[in-house]
Amino acid sequence: MTLLVTGGAGFIGSNFIRYWLEKYPEDDIINLDALTYAGNLASLKDVEQSSRYSFIQGNILDADLVGDLVEKADKIVHFAAESHNDRAILDPGIFIETNIKGTFTLLEAAKKYNKHFHHISTDEVFGHLELGTDDAFSETTPYAPRSPYSASKAGSDHIVRAYHETYGLPITITNCSNNFGPYQHPEKFIPRMITDIIDGGTVKIYGDGLYVRDWLYVLDHCRAIDAVLSKGKNGETYLVGGMTSDVSNKDIALKVLEIMGVSEDKIAYVADRPGHDRRYAVDWTKIHNELGWQPEHSFEEWLKETVAWYQNHESWWRPLKERAESIYTK
Ligand code: NAD
Ligand code: TYD
């Protein structure tokens, strides 16, 4: 089988390509990535020589290129997106272009060649939950995005589903919670914190720090996509979440400081993100009951592994960090 992976030079896509090539020695992967600020071929150094892997630098909005590549593939696994909320607040237009129009361009090609389209999306499309409740998002939660990023992802999910209902396109969708692990861009919360501490700086906590995400180790996410591609039902959506329950950003900062042997006075409370979603939590019962998936990497242990990975891979993150810092609320 040949998979066309979009956005494979990003955080999750690069982990997925490595996972898939190792697990399925008969399969080939074509990686289509525009190499935006978030795309980094250094994340794929160890697979670039593989005869089963090829890289095409190009934009998912390029209909001719997309058509040629989709024709060659058996399935499309669509990761490519603008993915950072802070950037979406400053410059939402590119999120609409890439996440909505880019997905539409891919869907048109998938429809033309009748190829299975797997769409990677986020739990943020459901809006946010109250602190101190047991509520969790499930496949039946109504969409209620609150930020330009999550609204653009919600739009793309709707169009994917519409192509299934209207044209009979074979599709599956996964909506997952916040990922963490190796090769995540240092603009995101956990890597930003680790790399700031390595540099002797402060950990920036937005607002009161009592914001909660449902942290999912990136390899567990790759395993979930694998389960859906292998056994998922055509037209279905599966939610994917992690093993944390209600760990706040402040708690995570304290854990990271402890792991790195640095004192708590390195925490700096900075201006809050506008429209900051308070809490996300994912009920992953459906993918567990129907496809036998569950997360296997505990947050505590894999947070330590992730800290160690960044400590040992400074040459990977340093150039990205230098380019990214200017966008932040200081
Ligand atoms: P990322 O920002 O690390 O990587 C995105 C990749 O897409 C980059 O390699 C970039 O170059 C590429 N790209 C961007 N625009 C493109 C375009 N127009 N054409 C071709 N390539 C383009 O993102 P990520 O964290 O790996 O997220 C991957 C997917 O997973 C996204 O769809 C995101 O919405 C979703 N998701 C991510 C998380 C998370 O915690 N990271 C959680 C839920 C869902
Ligand atoms: P982020 O990694 O940007 O992911 P998302 O916006 O998709 O949840 O942020 C995770 C959480 O951490 C979110 O509540 C915002 C917060 N945050 C900080 O407190 N400080 C930071 O420097 C960053 C980047 C995020």
Per-residue pLDDT band at 323 (split at 50, 70, 90)? confident
With a cut of 90, say whether residue 328 has pLDDT above it: no
Q: Under 8 Å CB-to-CB from 221, ≥6 apart: which residues?
A: 12, 15, 16, 176, 179, 240
149 annotated active-site:
yes
Question: Both tokens of residue 111?
Answer: 């429809």
Largest pairwise CA distance in the chain: 58
Residue 86 a catalytic site member: no
**Ligand 1, pocket-test mutation among 11, 95, 216, most atoms within 8 A of CB:** 11
Enumerate the H helices of the chain as residue ranges.
11-23, 63-72, 85-90, 93-95, 103-113, 148-167, 189-198, 218-231, 249-259, 285-291, 299-312, 314-324
Looking at the chain, the whole-number percentage of residues with pLDDT higher than 90 is 96
Give the number of whichever ligand sits closest to the CA of residue 176.
Answer: 1
Half-sphere exposure of 128 (CA within 13 A, CB side): 14
Residue 326: is its pLDDT beyond 90? no
- The whole-angstrom separation of Cα 257 and Cα 267 is 9
Residue 33 pairs with which residues in a beta bridge? 57
pTM over 0.85: yes
CA distance 193 to 43: 20
Q: Which of 149, 211, 217, 310 is catalytic?
A: 149
In the reported structure, the alpha carbon of residue 23 is separated from the centroid of ligand 1 by a whole-number distance in angstroms of 22
Q: In the β-sheet with 171-176, what is the strand arrangement from edge to edge?
A: 53-57, 28-33, 2-6, 75-78, 116-122, 171-176, 237-240
**pLDDT tens digit sequence for 282-309:** 999 999 999 999 999 999 999 999 999 9
**List of domains in the chain:** 2-179+216-240 (3.40.50.720), 185-212+244-278+297-323 (3.90.25.10)
The pair of structure tokens assigned to 200 is: 């002797």
Beta bridge partners of 205: 269
Ligand 2 pocket, 188 CB below 6 A? Answer: yes
Cα(222) to ligand 2 centroid in Å equals 22
For the question of residue 328 being annotated catalytic, the response is no
| Cβ neighbours around 121 below 10 Å, total | 23
Give the count of beta carbons closer than 10 Å to the beta carbon of residue 215.
24
Ligand 1 center from residue 39 Cα (angstroms): 8
pLDDT at 329: 44
pLDDT for position 79: 99
For residues 46 and 85, the answer to whether their CB atoms sit within 8 Å is no
